[in-house]
Amino acid sequence: MTTALLSELSKQKIRVVLCDEKHNPVSEVLPYYGCHDSSKKIRYQFDWDEEFMDELWRRIIFQKINNQRALLIKKGCEKYYIDLLTGYLKEIEPGDTTNREGLAAKVFFAGLFSQDFVRGMETATNAALNYGYQILLSCFNREIKICGYLIEIGIHHQSQHNHFNLASDLMEPFRPLVDEIVYENIADSFGKEEKRIIQTLLHKSVNISNRSQVLTNAIGIYTKSVMDALLTNDLNYIKWLQYEL
């Protein structure tokens, strides 16, 4: 790819994802000029209200756990795990100070895959999950830049080693979409064919704000609504993903 082509793609607000020799995403090219008033919005971003962000994070985690619970119900998983997630939904505090997200994740993966499943182990399932999450992250990075904000400054994620803190925050309720396609299609191996299957996720129809949208469009709608909510301190702006049973 020539620099002229990369430049033209950036002008058209098209992100370019670069992959390594194993076809895993390792970096991406994002346009600087995704939004005409980005400098103004970045100044707002540094002044986002702390209490509002804590409540927003509570709502994001509620939606994530609720979507995880819906997936377990959809796949006919054990009631024990579903009931645990139902209980966690009632216990989430602003800022998720009691880490119900972390507890829910362990319960969810045990319920969906098996009690022996451990995130981080070198398995085909974990490789597929990581690949799918990276695709989601890339989509959110693009939409955040289009809206004119910094992807490094997050709501809850604040790691100095994470270049995509804000995208990591916003994508949380969408993770079960990756979990479902991995559950349905990945067994003992993860190669080119399996990656192509996961890539079809981007064309999946989802329900957001009571309307059916292709996933890439839904990510754009949701991301802009969250940015509008942060700008106005009004959670009613947010258009949530509604997981379909």
pLDDT attached to residue 35: 65
Residue 40 has pLDDT above 90, yes or no: no
Q: Rounded mean pLDDT of 166-179?
A: 96
pLDDT (mean) for 81-91? 97
From 8-17, 27-36, 76-85, 125-134, the region with the lowest mean pLDDT: 27-36
For residue 25, name the pLDDT band (cuts at 50, 70, 90).
Answer: low
Q: Report DSSP letters for 85-148, one per residue.
A: HHHHHTT--GGGTT-HHHHHHHHHHHHHT-TT--TTSS-HHHHHHHHHHHHHHHHHHHHHHHHT
pLDDT of residue 150: 87
Tell me which range, 28-32, 40-44, 163-167, 177-181, is most confidently predicted by mean pLDDT. Answer: 177-181
The percentage of residues in the chain with a pLDDT greater than 90, rounded to a whole number, is 70
Residue 170's nearest CA partner among 245, 63, 27 is 63
For 137-148, write each residue's pLDDT tens digit.
989 998 998 888
Domains and CATH numbers, the chain: 3-202 (1.20.120.920)
User: What span, in angstroms and rounded, lies between the C-alpha atoms of 92 and 100?
Assistant: 6
pLDDT higher than 80, residue 64? yes
Tokens representing 204?
């999946």
214 or 242, which is more confident?
Answer: 214
**Could you say which DSSP state residue 189 is in?**
-
pLDDT in tens, 126-170: 999 999 999 999 899 989 988 888 889 999 988 887 888 999 999
pTM, two decimals, is 0.87
Distance CA 5, CA 25 (A): 20
Q: In this model, does residue 34 exceed pLDDT 80?
A: no
Q: What is the DSSP letter of 220?
A: H
